[in-house]
Structure 1
Amino acid sequence: MTRPDAVAVVVPARDEEVLLPACLDAVAAAVDALRAAYADVPTQVVVVLDACRDGSAQVVRDRDGVVAVTAHAGCVGVARSEGVEAAAAWAAGVGSRSLWVASTDADSVVPRHWLTSHLGWAADGLGLVVGTVEPRPGDVSAGALSAWHQRHTTADGHDHVHGANLGFTLDAYRAVGGFPLLPTHEDVGLVTAMREAGVPTLATGAVPVVTSGRRTGRAPDGFAGYLDGLGA
């Protein structure tokens, strides 16, 4: 399979002025690594400012190579969907015929090799990459962190799904109707639909993303709520 000819990163953000800078720093490092490895592959970072009432927009304005999309839904499924649509419009504008979309969250930090790994797997014929996340150790108690590791594997073949660490082709995304417009578990809905459609998939622990261990999150029944249930 021919590798994708463009890459977009989609980041939904809802009142994330504190954590968004670190997220975008890490994404920028991953983009730099991708450009060093694949100089002919254009990239775009899309931040979806969803019902933000803080300074998140200013964080984005100060960043080169990052564009903002404004949403008002207060719903992560809608925000991710609008981000992918903006990425698709950008890709069409640069003449892309095979866009790879990488998804993360505004409170998360991706590894430098995140995008280069995704593109390599895509070139091998994969249409979906499902990565792992780990809570930032300093954000949770030792007991909660221990409970997390007891319940989660970060090995290849894991069965976890996190919107903070996904990658997929635009074609596969379109074929299953995109992200469900849900306030939570939109990531699980998309991955389930892609797997049921037979999209070649890799569940990998090779590109772990570190995410906030806060107990009050932006999505109901999301990652923060789960950590709270562990006694974080």
Structure 2
Amino acid sequence: MAATQIDKVAVVIPAHNEEQALERALTSAGTAADRLAVDSPGTEAEVVIVLDACTDRSLEVAAGFAARDLRFRVLPVGFHSVGKSRRAGCGVVLESLGGSGAAGIPARRLWLANTDADSQVPEDWLLRQLELAAAGADLVLGSVEPDAHGTHHELLARWHSRHALAEDHPHVHGANLGVRASAYLAAGGFPGIDRDEDRILVERIRAGGAAIVSTDTTRVLTSGRTSGRAPGGFAAYLLALAQP
């Protein structure tokens, strides 16, 4: 893998009625951006919160972060679709650069880090992704772990028995996925669908021969709820796993 420095990273977080979890998610994203600023001061960071048809206090929570920290940007949409929301969030970042790398930042030096509004990223999440990108990775597939708080212990044990948290794991999680903008564009971006948008993007990138790293060194803590916001998403999987 050829080494390529990243000049800017954008965190994209889709949210649909996540007022209870959103503050923790945004706090963790901000902490990861703070760590990146200390350890890689030349790398710009922003966080795009895509509020999809929210009818709760999610807008109030997100707007509070944006008012206190200029790195946060709020994008209200009405898609009722996680795929369209992720695509829109990545799109506004690319549009701000002229689509393919204006403003002095080529697409190969822009990184799109994706997570979810019910998830908490580790402090070194962005730093580690960009270390892998600097080593040549075009796509980083991170691991996730259900939050033990709020997850029944039997379900948690069943999940761990089926998911080895290790390097070179086979899993794809929209809650922990980072991609070089050039690879993202070459693959056509996230498809505007209601489920499996992350898997389809990864399949397209893999088919294009991009450099892919699967790692447990960027593990994200995500909600262990079995009633989720996206049809067929992680919560639906946990619900099926909980069945005897």
TM-score (normalizing by structure 1): 0.97
Q: Does 1:96 align with 2:105?
A: yes
Q: How does 1:162-177 map to 2 (within 5 A)?
A: 162-177=173-188
Q: Does 1:78 align with 2:87?
A: no
Separation of aligned partners in 2, 1:4 and 1:91:
14
Identical-pair percentage: 42
Counterpart in the other structure of 2:7: 5
- Structure 1, gaps ≥5 residues long: none
Q: CA deviation at 1:9?
A: 0.3
Contact 1:77–1:179 (Cα < 8 Å) also in 2: yes
- DSSP-derived class of the 1:139 partner: coil
Q: How does 1:40-189 map to 2 (within 5 A)?
A: 40-63=42-65, 64=69, 65-92=71-98, 95-97=104-106, 98-189=109-200
Counterpart in the other structure of 2:201: 190
Q: How does 1:212-227 map to 2 (within 5 A)?
A: 212-227=223-238
Query: Per-residue CA shift, 1:97-143, capped at 9, x if unaligned?
Result: 22101000000000001000011111111100000100001221111
Contact 1:172–1:194 (Cα < 8 Å) also in 2: yes
Q: CA deviation at 1:146?
A: 0.8
Query: Per-residue CA shift, 1:7-54, capped at 9, x if unaligned?
Result: 100000001111000001100110000000111111110000111111
AA in 1 matched with 2:110: L
Separation of aligned partners in 2, 1:62 and 1:94:
28
- Structure 2, gaps ≥5 residues long: none
AA in 1 matched with 2:14: P
Q: CA deviation at 1:94?
A: 5.1
Q: How does 1:10-21 map to 2 (within 5 A)?
A: 10-21=12-23
AA in 2 matched with 1:166: L
AA in 2 matched with 1:96: I
Q: Number of paired residues? A: 232
Separation of aligned partners in 1, 2:199 and 2:242:
24
Contact 1:44–1:87 (Cα < 8 Å) also in 2: no
Separation of aligned partners in 2, 1:113 and 1:4:
16
- DSSP-derived class of the 1:160 partner: coil
- DSSP-derived class of the 1:203 partner: strand
Query: Per-residue CA shift, 1:71-116, capped at 9, x if unaligned?
Result: 1110000000000011113345753222101000000000001000
AA in 2 matched with 1:66: F
AA in 1 matched with 2:79: A
Contact 1:91–1:99 (Cα < 8 Å) also in 2: no
Q: CA deviation at 1:2?
A: 2.5
4+ residue segments displaced more than 6 Å:
none
